[in-house]
Chain A
């Protein structure tokens, strides 16, 4: 018998093992649901499969009789738009500030401590200020995401830029390159895959800020809907929404990961690919 640390599952085995926790959760849920519904058929806390399907049907495929919208798609579009703006702006700001503070001591000195402090301000605590300053519309939600995510990306990228071996920067100078050329041709291409990683890691936080902002003030959006139907304890809507948000987040994560693998072949040789996965 090999030591435990040397025992690996087969590929199919690994796949099966990965499904176990999901199956366990599903079994626990539906047993509990059946029990509760047997006791009280009007129980709303743990809807049955049939009720969940009805809920999905209503949210994802039926038009609202008053407005003609299908609420799930309308909410998804609204939320994804806010998320894209917030994360996109954060990525751009993160890249610009991260490269500047990572490369230039004269930019690092005034900006780096400020960004560190900024990243420690709890964004949710200043949400009321954002609502007052930017109104209750889209802007305040996007600003919340940017405030929550951009400082993290800036700090992360500054770190990544500073990890580029000094030899490379000396080499670039010895080829006569200007600071601008070094930024453009040496630093930027090497931190772009780090930016994708950084965005991947901050997506979770971005969703938190998005849903929080939507819960407090919005007229549509995934977070808005969940907090709206909470009043009726409509778990048959909330649970599919949560699953849908999770699926969206998962797909984004995988898409960014695949983008990195494909766009930056120089980065993902053997060992490094394992580290990243």
Chain B
């Protein structure tokens, strides 16, 4: 039998969490992305690699809701893609991902407080203690138990990214978006972060999109690897063609 048939059968049964059809993005004459179509199942870990200027970041910003597609369709669980960032999609950037004026504990706690205290964004009394306990659990989960009272500037780069992860995951997003999250870290610390990221993902099974420069990181962390590249190029008019997904590789993840 054709091995593609059972796979297609499974896909038909499981509605994809994310469906992207014939997506184009251009700024005026400059085409950045052309004709992107994708189905992503809930719980996939999608690594996105590609050269600089190949539209990875634009694609990432569209996933966030900061940019809207010029053409095509983007669906999240069957509904049109939200036009702005929201609590369904957590995010960790390479830098500036935590609030500098809050301690590590308060940085995680704010993710738990603001959905419950709409007016003041702050909990009091027993609700506050409860949020504190939950926040401490998250800090422990990312290995920051000893740093609850420290401000971000007192934490190393790796610790700040751990904090950013804890903060994002505390809000229980369906999708976690990572923009070069480990790009500024030393190799040893990066390996630790990979292990942490993988264990968090295996435990919670949220969907992950991770943009990275480091192709090895893309292969080792993801369950699926997307390569963005420009296939067509007009040397006289380099803006004419955008990038496409040139490789879409399923990866083993254990």
Contact = CB atoms under 8 A, between A and B. Distances in A.
B87 interface: yes
A175 B87 contact: yes
Contacts of B98: 171
A174 interface: yes
Contacts of A178: 114, 118
Contacts of A176: 86-87, 114-115, 171
A165 B96 contact: yes
Interface string B121-132: 110000000000
Contact of A185 (B93, B122, B154, B168): B122
B173 A189 contact: no
Q: Taking each of A171, A175, A189, which has the highest tally of chain B beta carbons within 10 Å of its own beta carbon?
A: A175
A175 B101 CA distance: 17
B93 A167 contact: yes
A175 B118 contact: no
B134 interface: no
Interface in B21-41: none
B87 A174 contact: yes
B208 to A, nearest CB: 14
B99 A174 contact: no
Contact of A170 (B66, B119, B164): B66
A168 B96 contact: yes
Interface string B146-168: 00000111100000000010011
Contacts of B96: 165, 167-168, 171
A184 interface: yes
B162 to A, nearest CB: 15
A67 interface: no
Contact of B171 (A175, A181, A267, A269): A175
Contacts of A171: 91, 93, 96-99, 164, 167-168
A269 B151 CA distance: 10
B118 A173 contact: no
Please tell me the size bucket of the interface on A. 20 to 34
Contact of A266 (B89, B122, B151): B151
Interface string A243-262: 00000000000000000000
A186 to B, nearest CB: 6
Interface in A93-123: none
A203 interface: no
A212 interface: no
Contacts, number: 84
Interface residues of B, number: 37
Nearest to B64: A170
A165 to B, nearest CB: 4
Contacts of A184: 120-121
A109 to B, nearest CB: 19
Nearest to A270: B153
A190 interface: yes
B85 interface: yes
Given A181-B114, A185-B122, A266-B153, A174 B171 contact: yes
Interface in A155-213: 165, 167-168, 170-178, 180-181, 184-186, 189-190
A185 B110 contact: yes
Contacts of B53: none
B93 A175 contact: no
Nearest to A193: B101
Contacts of B151: 265-266, 269
Nearest to A264: B101
B24 to A, nearest CB: 23
Contacts of A181: 114, 118, 121
Given A264-B101, A267-B101, 12 more contacts: A167-B97, A168-B97, A174-B168, A174-B171, A175-B87, A175-B171, A177-B114, A178-B118, A180-B119, A181-B118, A181-B121, A267-B100
Interface of A: 165, 167-168, 170-178, 180-181, 184-186, 189-190, 264-267, 269
12 contacts: A168-B99, A170-B85, A171-B96, A171-B167, A174-B86, A174-B89, A174-B168, A176-B86, A176-B114, A176-B171, A266-B101, A266-B151
